[in-house]
A and B are shown apart, each in its own frame.
Chain A
Amino acid sequence: MPDKEKIVRVPIGPQHPALKEPESFMVDLQGEKISSIALRLGYNHRGIEKGCEERTYVQDVYLIERVCGICSHSHSTAFVQAVEEIAGLDVPPRAKYIRTLIGELERVHSHLLWLGVAGHEIGFDTLLMYTWRDRELVMDLLAELTGNRVHYAMNVIGGVKRDVPQEQFARITSVVDALEERTKYYVELAMTEETLAQRLSGVGYLSKEDAERFGAVGPTARASGVDRDTRRDDPYAAYGELEFQVVTDTRCDVFGRAVVRLGELMQTYSMIRQVLKKMPDGPTSVRAPLKIPTGEAVSRYEAPRGEDVHYVRGNGTDKPERAKVRAPTLANLQSVAKMLENGYLADLPIVVAAIDPCFSCTDRMVAVRGTSESKTMNWEELVQYGVRWYRERGIDLSNVKMRGEVTA
């Protein structure tokens, strides 16, 4: 092993290490190989949970929807399910089916987006252009069904806001047929294109034991052979009445994650067809009270990226006492550090992108405790520190007036 002086520490991020989102990786390199990696979150903290406590439940649905731009329906459904459980509302079956339909269409667009991004990260931009062109089909369909391309605003507490009329079923079926044909092509391409397999096989290895130990979720865990899917294990909405298989893979690498996502797309198309066939008649929402009684609930939802957990506690008013969001990326981040160990620096973007990260969804309050370097400073000390820091580098700021009375 080389001695310690040979280790080079490279900061990657916080400006978009993989996707265009802030996240910092401190990478220790031995030559080209990564010896250890430290992650740092918290560049995109938006205070959404606190914001929820200050708004009414009705307003929270739209705030929660904006946790993520890709899996917006996942977050709002998870939140709404938790509130409905506290309030004891009986959601009409048609509303559950519509939620499932939109959720699965969202999975289609999320997985196609991921496939394009993965192609882009390995320099396969043709794949990016093709998948994103096909993704427009489902985006246009979502705009027709819900009225918007990303923030669908379909959920209200007690059901869904808009019905999906029978006339639109034919249009949904035709889009699903077209997408299924395209996805079959991508599956075939992934299985037979030599360059894709060469680039992705063995990259970002995560064993089944590690996936379980680090609590990986979603396609990341399923590609490591962990047979876990909230839609089957803890059915919500209409998933209990649908037939589908949980796609797993034992390759444990980025290629496996691509295969799992493509397999999930094929399952999703069959699920959408079942939803259209089985969708019952009836109302789409029940009237929800403005004031939600005291109680607490945890809601789980299988978002395209993995399991989404929402916790809501009501205190009898029209505002929640506490709302907690656990986005799937947070569960997967620990495994990223493991995947990157002993890998190459050039593989970092694709390995990070392979968990389909969404850092601004993940950023909650982060408190760093107990590290030897951390220290709390008040404003005065911080100013003194800054002045000292610049003076050591030959810049004298001691005469500059700042808030907090500089007397250095």
Chain B
Amino acid sequence: MAKTPRRRPGRMIPSLLRSLFRRPATTRYPFVKWEMPDRFRARPVVHTENCIGCKMCVRNCPSGAIQIEDMGEKMFQATIDLGRCLYCGQCAFVCPKKTIELTKDFELAAFDRASLVVVYHAKPKPVEEPAASAQPKAAEPQAPAA
């Protein structure tokens, strides 16, 4: 075993002692909430009034977590299964109308799997929107293999 000339052991003691008088590195989580950064990717929210039903999100979703249903009169209902969602943000990236937004709300634990399925009900379009501008593509919604 090659030995190099070294100083005495216990090199960490000064910084150990310093740590004694520092605040703990952890926070008391349920009581002290950590503020997530603005660009954090957690609970996806669908602003259904802007949805044009192109279903790009459905085809792109890696885990088949999102479903878009046509409710007639150019209104669309979105269903997101938060238990399947990867929070990758691909749906928000491909959405041509930026309908989907990933919020900072990360506390999504639930006792019941069914309560993780969130439905965003269809809303009518804002009036100033020219309704005929965006025709939904009639592509079959190809959900990925589970």
Contacts and interface: CB of A to CB of B under 8 A. Distances in A.
A54 interface: yes
Given A147-B40, A147-B102, A153-B41, A202 B2 contact: yes
Given A62-B86, A126-B16, A161-B89, A194 B8 contact: yes
Given A59-B144, A62-B90, A185-B15, A147 B39 contact: yes
A267 interface: no
Interface string A341-374: 0000000000000000000000000000000000
Interface residues of A, number: 39
Contact of B12 (A55, A126, A144): A126
Interface in A194-230: 194-195, 197-198, 201-202
Contacts of B25: 133, 136
Contacts of A188: 11
B18 to A, nearest CB: 11
Instruction: Please indicate which of the listed interface residues B1, B62, B63 has the most CB atoms of chain A within 10 Å of its own CB.
Output: B62
A189 interface: yes
Instruction: Please indicate which of the listed interface residues A127, A161, A188 has the most CB atoms of chain B within 10 Å of its own CB.
Output: A161
Contact of A143 (B3, B16, B40, B60): B40
B39 A201 contact: no
Interface string B101-132: 01000000000000000000000000000000
B134 interface: no
Contacts of A251: 2
B6 A153 contact: no
Nearest to B92: A161
Contacts of A127: 12
B89 A153 contact: yes
Contact of B39 (A151, A162, A193, A202): A162
Contacts of A202: 1-2
Contact of A58 (B15, B90, B102, B145): B90
A192 interface: yes
A290 to B, nearest CB: 9
A140 B1 CA distance: 41
Contacts of A193: 6, 9, 11-12
B143 to A, nearest CB: 11
Closest 5 CB pairs of A and B: A147-B41, A62-B62, A59-B62, A144-B37, A153-B88
